[in-house]
Amino acid sequence: MDALIAKKRAEVMARLAAMKLPGGANAAPAPVSAPVSVPPAAASHLDTIAAIKARIQAKLSGQSPTVAPTQPTELHPMLRDDYKASARSGQAPMPRISSIKANQRKEQPKRLKIEHEAPASFTDPEKNPYFDPSLGTQRTAEPHARRAGKQFQFARPGRYIEQAEKLRNEAKMEQLKVEIAARAEVARLEDEVLDANAIKFSEPPEVEWWDAPFVSNGNYPPGDIVPVESLITIYVQHPVPVEPPASILSMSSVPSQLLLTRKERKKVRRQRRIETQREHREKVMLGLLPPDEPKLRMSNFMRIMANQSVPDPTKLEAEVRRQMQARLDKHEADNQARKLTKEQRVAKNESKVESEEQKGVVTAVFRVDNLRHPQHRYKVSINAKQNHLTGVALVCEHLSVVVVEGPEKFVKAYKKLMLRRIDWVNGQVKLEAASSAGDDGQAEIDWSKNSCHMIWQGAIEQRRFTQFRLRDCPTEGYAKRILSSAGCESYWQLAKQFDPSTVVASDLLL
């Protein structure tokens, strides 16, 4: 036991020697020096060390240690009764003692205080442009208090899109304002240019241009300027009144004819048929008309007669066939009754031609290099007659001219025949025609360079020919005489001067 005590004592003495403190009771007392001002923190440490030293000495000597009088210790603020109420109000007192190692080592920052006021030149903006009046003149070196952490503030969806749209609209408005200002400036300049005050009127002439033929000296005479022998008199010539094609009163009473399209006509017909069927069905429902017999067919008569007893199916089938044949005969009879006779068809075609001709007469002139092919001659002649066209086809050795005249609709169809449908380069003829040509000893014709072009088309007042005829002309003079008899001899000269290479594209567009 004594050995353990001695060992502990040696360890304590070593620690005290390391701290440069008096080692024990046998140690020589330190020389008394002048009183030194000890800070409060250091004094508390010395008191603690002295108390520990006294306890150790008491243990070593076996005596009770002398306890130094200590300052009264106050309770921790959290142990007080009024702590909860003060914590709720946000005024909870903090302890004045350090209970955590980190707080003990923390030193309070030192504040630097400016003892004197800043000079007037410091607060003058002209002399000190860097002075900020919002900061004041009394500044301290205390660091800024640490800001509390902020939470994330998420932007509302579409916020920045709305801001962008707002900026775009503002830019558009600014642009519109600039354009309106520019237009207003231009209008103002135009108003200044066109201002009546800015226009300088010329002096009136001595003689107006409409009076110049009646004035001899260049000046107005004092009397009457119109000579006696002039055509201008005091009498007024009124135009001859022309009666209108129809009376004004009758025109106001008769409604104008409404022209419908093909689609509109079909719609009107469909609606009229639906209305007729609805009226017939209502009359049958009211008992005004007997109900229609069921339309029996071989495919549905068993379904229609399912609820009725049929003693003889063969007889029923014969009745169904008889009804089918009766309906077919009635349909053909109605069609035959509505069919026009030959005279009616001719009259109808003539009325169509007359109605088309009332719209205007058009003539077309074609130039054909070679029109001696029998198939070409037949097509040119028969199509002109079928389209109710009049004119002439002049066939010469090196040039042929075809002139047709008639309504625009028929001339358009004939133009398609001449420029598209007829193959002018195909010269194959029938066997009989080829054999007869070989017997006559005529040379074979090269049809590869044959072509047809329309050289002129225009409207005329009336027809110049009574029918369409194909004429073979041995000479050009004979062809000119035929055209001159109809008053169109210029067509031949036009055909001779025509250059096919210049209108190839125009023919393709027709």
Summarised one tens digit per residue, pLDDT across range 62-94 is 655 455 455 555 566 666 666 666 666 666 565
Q: What is the pTM of this model?
A: 0.42
Q: How far apart are alpha carbons 55 and 62 in whole angstroms?
A: 10
pLDDT at 125: 80
pLDDT at 389: 93
pLDDT at 35: 46
* Closest of 386, 372, 398 to residue 470, by C-alpha: 372
Tokens found for residue 58: 């008491």
pLDDT at 265: 95
pLDDT at 247: 61
Q: How far is CA 456 from CA 362, 363, 365, 462, in A?
A: 11, 8, 5, 17
Question: At a CB cut-off of 8 Å and minimum separation 6, what does 453 contact?
Answer: 366, 367, 419, 498, 500, 503, 507
- The sheet carrying 390-395 orders its strands as 452-460, 361-368, 400-407, 390-395, 468-472
Q: Name the 3-class secondary structure at 280.
A: helix
pLDDT at 4: 78
CB count in 10 Å sphere of residue 280 = 13
Find how far residue 412's CA is from the centre of its chain.
Answer: 39
Express each pLDDT in 418-470 by its tens digit. Answer: 999 999 987 665 544 544 544 555 567 778 888 999 999 999 988 999 999 99
Residues in the chain with pLDDT values less than 70: 1, 20-45, 62-117, 136-149, 189-201, 218, 221-233, 245-257, 309, 427-443, 503-510
CB count in 10 Å sphere of residue 389 = 24
Tokens found for residue 218: 């260049």
Q: How far apart are alpha carbons 444 and 427 in whole angstroms?
A: 10
Question: At a CB cut-off of 8 Å and minimum separation 6, what does 108 contact?
Answer: none
